[in-house]
Amino acid sequence: MTRLLHRALKTPPMAVSAEGITFTDAGGKTYIDACGGAAVSCLGHGHPDVLAAIHRQADQVAYAHTGFFTTEAAEGLGERLVADAPEGISHAYLVSGGSEAVEAALKMARQYFAEKGETQRRHVIARRQSYHGNTLGALAVGGNEWRRAQFRPLLMEAHHIAPCYAYREQRQTESDAEYAVRAAGELEAKIEELGAENVIAFVAEPVVGATAGAVPPVADYFKRIREICDRNGILLILDEVMCGMGRTGTLHACEQEGIAPDLMTIAKGLGGGYQPIGAVLLNEKIHDAFAQGSGFFQHGHTYMGHPMAAAAALAVQEVIARDDLLANVRAMGAYLRERLEDAFGQHANVGDVRGRGLFQAIELVADRETKAPFDPAAKLNKHIKAQAMERGLMVYPMGGTIDGVHGDHVLLAPPFVVGREDVDTIVARLSDAV
Ligand code: PMP
């Protein structure tokens, strides 16, 4: 009997080894990891260069509290992250995961205005169908009411606008350009309603991950969002915890939108699962406000800047660059999309095939014409996950219960080292499971 509280109160299979893109369980059964866990394992499992870096760091300094020391590993990672960051980013703040990064980014944004005496600002605007983490602050900005409902009152004054979700929300008569204006216009209307002087920031995932299944924005949506934030003097926080660090084919997903945020959160693919790590990337103006104000960021975690986590992340990022793996993300992403369209493009119960790079999803519908979702009570996504696991395939299921509105979807986010034959096997097993 297990003494662990498992998520679904049921014990999953026991993983005993993992190498490349394959897991093996205690019964000797193998599974292809077609989702990197939750879009985490970008290099696959057991990469010798990353393991060597972790061993070296463990021998050198395994842990150092950031109140006492910095380390070469943490400094090296900071330097690399800033060198590769979107324009204007000047510093990195290291934490241990995605929710921690989101919490820290929200507090940085709030303290930024407090340093300037604007303490009346307390509203944050986010989007429905987004996921920003499970801690109470992150939960408040996250877009699913069913996740938040039983934890009210929440810790942030968060307000939600519609996501940019073309399959569900773009009108048939509307061009992409018109839709971008309408969807971004929701932000402007919400700022007006709250009073720009009371708003801290807008938070969004450039490509929506877990809650809506790899939903990319329409062209120019984020350019308009950036412009609206600037015009109203509020900060733009991009949450790239899931879609970032190469997953969509560029190091940061926002590069494809031609914009840079004031604050950005990254995690998952940053350490590729070898160690728990996340970061907030912040721009010069936020750093300057702290430097010229209290000289302090009022935050901190015991394990932030963990040397072994930083060494692992640095090694992961070095391998991605050395082996030009983003080129493979783009090539195999295009191939995966093509194969998914072949397999599901005409399927009576698949309404949409979408995504960017190796971040692709299918959305399941009861009726292709009306886009009506399946009854959430049927838990179709969970069934597909179970059917896939039976066939030795790991896929990431979401939807169904999302406020009872949207259909089930299945997310694919395989490691960046995936090859054509792997993609063929993944799509064949998924077709069979669906
Ligand atoms: N933001 C986004 C966009 C995410 O996808 C996630 C995790 N799915 C988080 C934040 C929270 O990250 P973590 O689970 O590491 O706390």
- Tens digits of per-residue pLDDT, 352-362? 999 999 999 99
| Distance from C-alpha of 357 to C-alpha of 420, rounded to nearest angstrom | 14
| Distance from C-alpha of 131 to C-alpha of 123, rounded to nearest angstrom | 18
Average pLDDT of the segment spanning 410-420: 97
The residue whose CA is least distant from atom 12 of ligand 1 is 98
23 lies in which domain range?
Answer: 15-29+40-46+324-417
Question: What are φ and ψ of residue 96, in 5° steps?
Answer: -110, 10
- Residues with C-beta less than 6 Å from any ligand 1 atom: 38, 97-99, 102, 131-133, 205, 209-210, 239, 241-242, 267
Residues 213 and 341 in one domain: no
Residues 335 and 252 in one domain: no
Residues 138 and 250 in one domain: yes
Nearest to 208 by CA among 147, 141, 161, 163: 163
Ligand 1 center to residue 100 CA distance, Å? Answer: 9
Ligand 1 center to residue 200 CA distance, Å? Answer: 21
Residues 158 and 208 in one domain: yes
* β-sheet bridge partners, residue 93: 280
Residues 366 and 262 in one domain: no
Ligand 1 center to residue 47 CA distance, Å? Answer: 23
What's the pLDDT at 155? 82
Ligand 1 center to residue 346 CA distance, Å? Answer: 32
**Does residue 140 sit within a domain?**
yes
What's the pLDDT at 239? 98
Q: Considering 297, 322, 347, which residue would you say is the last residue of a domain?
A: 322
Half-sphere exposure of 58 (CA within 13 A, CB side): 8
Q: Considering 272, 288, 322, which residue would you say is the last residue of a domain?
A: 322
Cα 333 to its chain centre, rounded Å, is 17
**Does residue 4 sit within a domain?**
no
Half-sphere exposure of 405 (CA within 13 A, CB side): 14
Ligand 1 center to residue 38 CA distance, Å? Answer: 9
Per-residue DSSP letter, 144: -
Q: How confident is the model at residue 403 (pLDDT cuts 50, 70, 90)?
A: low
Residues 130 and 101 in one domain: yes
Longest Cα pair distance anywhere in the chain, in angstroms?
Answer: 63
CATH number of the domain residue 336 falls in:
3.90.1150.10
pTM to 2 decimals? 0.98
**Does residue 130 sit within a domain?**
yes
The residue whose CA is least distant from atom 10 of ligand 1 is 132
Average pLDDT, the chain: 95
**Does residue 142 sit within a domain?**
yes
Ligand 1 center to residue 265 CA distance, Å? Answer: 9
With a cut of 80, say whether residue 86 has pLDDT above it. yes
Is the distance from CB of 426 to CB of 410 less than 8 angstroms?
no
> Which atom in ligand 1 lies closest to the alpha carbon of residue 242?
5
Nearest to 341 by CA among 248, 431, 218, 413: 431
The domain total for the chain is: 2
pLDDT over 70 percentage in the chain: 98
What's the pLDDT at 149? 87
pLDDT in tens, 319-354: 999 999 999 999 999 999 999 999 999 999 999 999
Residues 24 and 71 in one domain: no
Q: How confident is the model at residue 406 (pLDDT cuts 50, 70, 90)?
A: low
* β-sheet bridge partners, residue 202: 125, 236
Residues 309 and 401 in one domain: no
Q: How confident is the model at residue 405 (pLDDT cuts 50, 70, 90)?
A: low
Residues 274 and 148 in one domain: yes
pLDDT in tens, 10-53: 999 999 999 999 999 999 999 999 999 999 999 999 999 999 99
What's the pLDDT at 9? 87
> Which atom in ligand 1 lies closest to the alpha carbon of residue 243?
3
**Does residue 412 sit within a domain?**
yes
Residues 389 and 256 in one domain: no
| Distance from C-alpha of 166 to C-alpha of 351, rounded to nearest angstrom | 12
**Does residue 427 sit within a domain?**
no
What's the pLDDT at 126? 97
- In sequence order, the 6+-apart residues with CB closer than 8 A to the CB of 41 are 33, 272, 273, 415
Is the distance from CB of 222 to CB of 187 less than 8 angstroms?
no
With a cut of 80, say whether residue 307 has pLDDT above it. yes
Is the distance from CB of 96 to CB of 278 less than 8 angstroms?
yes
